[in-house]
Structure 1
């Protein structure tokens, strides 16, 4: 289902408010609102998802000091041999698999929702409200898991 553009300012405001309300009901991570406030208020699904995708790389760079982008950034930050970010203690094969899966999820988001939108004009990238909400929810989940890492890394050993 493709959503048609708003024809009046009132229509646009109602759509933007509806999208923001739905994100709040999903308990979307606050960083989504921080990185995408202008896009959410303008009710631009394409740009909202694009900016949200960039927020992941920015947080990883802030946390690690790395300057890379995309898959290379994720590979270095989440390396099993020398991880700069860990989502768990990597104490067993299951936890290592979870860690690798999380890194792959981030790379997948970059490849599907961020990198693919870069060279494509927004008129050629069809996105509706439901897809935008799902993409933003996935990015929100990634940010919550990155927050867990912050809590793990700041805890002193017992």
Structure 2
């Protein structure tokens, strides 16, 4: 078995073990198979923004998108992961919104503006990111969406 095939097989096994969300894999499998963790991380993070736009019909991007659809304002967030009525529920909702904004800032924004040579993403970091993004998508799976 070639090194590339062993690498792909090893990563696939670990992604299966971690129950990586299919929506994450839909966006970055090609990059994973090409042994390109930098671009895999970029594409995987884009999956969340694309999903939020699809769920809401909203055309925004980045932090503006997250603030418009995930952050509770004067009432329930447009994509609500809970009832958004108690303090702890609002904290949880804000926490998810801040986590998503943080992932955008950490992985999508630098990758879009900096040369790949300056942005190293290891395989271990990629696996951790994909696991985190899977958790985000699972929360979105059960979210209540107001268009």
- TM-score of the two chains, using structure 2 as the length reference: 0.92
Residue in 2 that maps onto 1:5: none
Q: Are the equivalent residues in 1 in contact too, given 2:48–2:137 (CA < 8 A)?
A: yes
Name the CA distance, whole Å, in 1 between partners of 2:121 and 2:64.
27
User: CA offset at residue 91 of structure 1?
Assistant: 2.0
Name the CA distance, whole Å, in 2 between partners of 1:78 and 1:129.
29
User: CA offset at residue 60 of structure 1?
Assistant: 0.0
Residue in 2 that maps onto 1:43: 35
Name the CA distance, whole Å, in 2 between partners of 1:13 and 1:113.
26
2:31 equivalent to 1:33 = no
Residue in 1 that maps onto 2:110: 116
Decide which of 46, 57, 64 is 1:65's aligned counterpart.
57
Question: In structure 1, the residue corresponding to 2:2 is in which secondary structure?
Answer: helix
CA RMSD of aligned residues (A): 1.4
User: CA offset at residue 36 of structure 1?
Assistant: 1.1
Q: Are the equivalent residues in 1 in contact too, given 2:110–2:119 (CA < 8 A)?
A: no
Decide which of 79, 88, 95 is 1:85's aligned counterpart.
79
Deviations 1:41-87 (A, max 9, x none): 11211111100000000000000111111000000002322521000
2:74 equivalent to 1:99 = no
* Paired positions, count: 143
Q: After the TM superposition, which of the residue ranges 22-31 and 119-128 deviates more from structure 2?
A: 119-128
Runs of 4+ in 1 over 3 A off after TM superposition: none
Structure 2 gap segments, 5+ residues each: none
